[in-house]
Amino acid sequence: MTEFLPWVVGAIVLAMVAYYVWNSQHETKPSSSAKDRYHSALELWLDGDLVGATETLHDLVHDYPQSVDPFLHLGTLLRLQGDPARAVVLHRGLTVRTGLSRPKKVIIGLALVQDFLALKQWNEAKEVLDTLVRDASGKTCYWKARFEHWHGMGDFHEAARALQQGMKSTPQTDHPWFIKAFASYQLDRALTHIRAGETKAAVQCLKDVKKIPEAHSRRALLQAVLAALDKNPAKALTLASEELLDSPAELALLLPMLQPILLESGQYSRTLPILERACQSEHAPPSLWVDLALLYDKLGHRDKALNLLDSKKGRAGLSPNKAAPFLKLLANDAPDTDFARVWNTLDMPGEIHNWKCSQCGHHETGVHWFCAQCHEFETFQAQPRSMEAI
């Protein structure tokens, strides 16, 4: 919901403007007391008191059933508080009112669409959006809703097209959001195809973002993964060394899929320099240090592994959770020590779901750049490190 926050604030401001023009020939003229109550409800909303604003508007529409704006904003408040079913009733009722201006009908229609999207009633949302295309296709919220309903219906190609159309049809200031969202969506689709073994579809998604600078590092990452899966470790390493060294955080995402193939192919002489250089970056995540330590150990250089981790002493992020894979290796090598016995009693990180959406709490077993549950972008965060691949 974060990308809709400016739209919601804008709606509140417009509502406060509407406060001054509430009276119309088709509505019961409100008293000064009623206007004050409406104004008070909007102020409560702006102050974050959604419950208070809802109660005030509820009483107001009870006293003035022919009003429009209080009904409209009461429905929105109900949806924001997790009751889209009641919001639908209020907003649908407004759509059959007579005498409303076309702009007002568009605002009501877009509010109803948001209700349907919250209820995951994709077909109903589509029907309303189809009626609004003539008057609302220049609005940012229209194309965001179009994207969400197409994705909800499972038509991912049309969902991507909606984001592309948003780049062209919306105000210039909103174009960066659509560009970034399109890149994240297509990269996420490519990654999903790679996991499913659908190479051709993955390649097509990567072509779509070729000219988007923001997608450069991740596109190279996924191309490297494709090369590795195609048993072409030399190409994978070339991509990693040429494209990803300046993006160590992205490189860290690649390694769990890339390492087994590199180790099997014997490409150690090229792998080590890449990791060593990447770990020198101030932006390198602790997981990358641990990966390099593990590789050192696999090659019989435990002293280098220990020296590497020792050199990171005091650095933020190098926690027991992050170092768990290397600690596990040490414990397995010395099973009779006190450390190993205590270690084996611990509930160590290694959960199935190791990526979590910061917006809705949805878990995934690997990295994603789009949350299919709440339809937000760039919200997944790594949880305590597990040994699973991305």
Q: What is the mean pLDDT of residues 250-276?
A: 69
Does the pLDDT value for residue 1 go beyond 60?
no
Token pair 């190098």 is found at: 318
**What is the identity of the amino acid at 273?**
P
Segment 360-383 shows an average pLDDT of 90
Query: Could you report the per-residue pLDDT of 102-151, keeping only the tens digit for each?
Result: 999 999 999 999 999 999 999 999 999 999 999 999 999 999 999 999 99
Question: Which domains does the chain show, CATH number per domain?
Answer: 2-119 (1.25.40.10), 349-390 (2.20.28)
Residue 353 has pLDDT above 70, yes or no: no
Average pLDDT, the chain: 84
Least confident of 151-160, 182-191, 297-306: 297-306
Q: How many CA atoms lie within 13 A of 349 on its CB side?
A: 19
Give the tokens for residue 39.
């104004």
CA distances 184 to 261, 264, 368, 379, Å, are 27, 32, 9, 11
Instruction: Give the Cα separation of 253 and 348 in Å (integer).
Output: 21
Distance, in Å, from the CA atom of 338 to the CA atom of 341, rounded to the nearest integer, reads 5
Tens digit of each residue's pLDDT (9 = 90 or more) over 44-95: 999 999 999 999 999 999 999 999 999 999 999 999 999 999 999 999 999 9
Spatial CA neighbour of 201 closest among 154, 260, 156, 240: 156
Report whether pLDDT(289) > 90: no
Q: What pLDDT, on a 0 to 100 scale, did the predictor assign at position 258?
A: 65
Pairing of strands 380-382, 363-364: unpaired
Contacts of 310-317 with CB under 8 Å at 24 or more apart are 312/286, 315/286, 317/285, 317/286
- Tell me how far apart the alpha carbons of residues 29 and 15 are, in angstroms, rounded to a whole number: 17
Q: Which of 67-76, 261-270, 325-334 has the lowest mean pLDDT?
A: 261-270
Residue 174 identity (one-letter amino acid): D
Task: Choose among 329, 335, 340: nearest CA to 298.
Answer: 329
Determine the average pLDDT of the residues in 33-51: 91
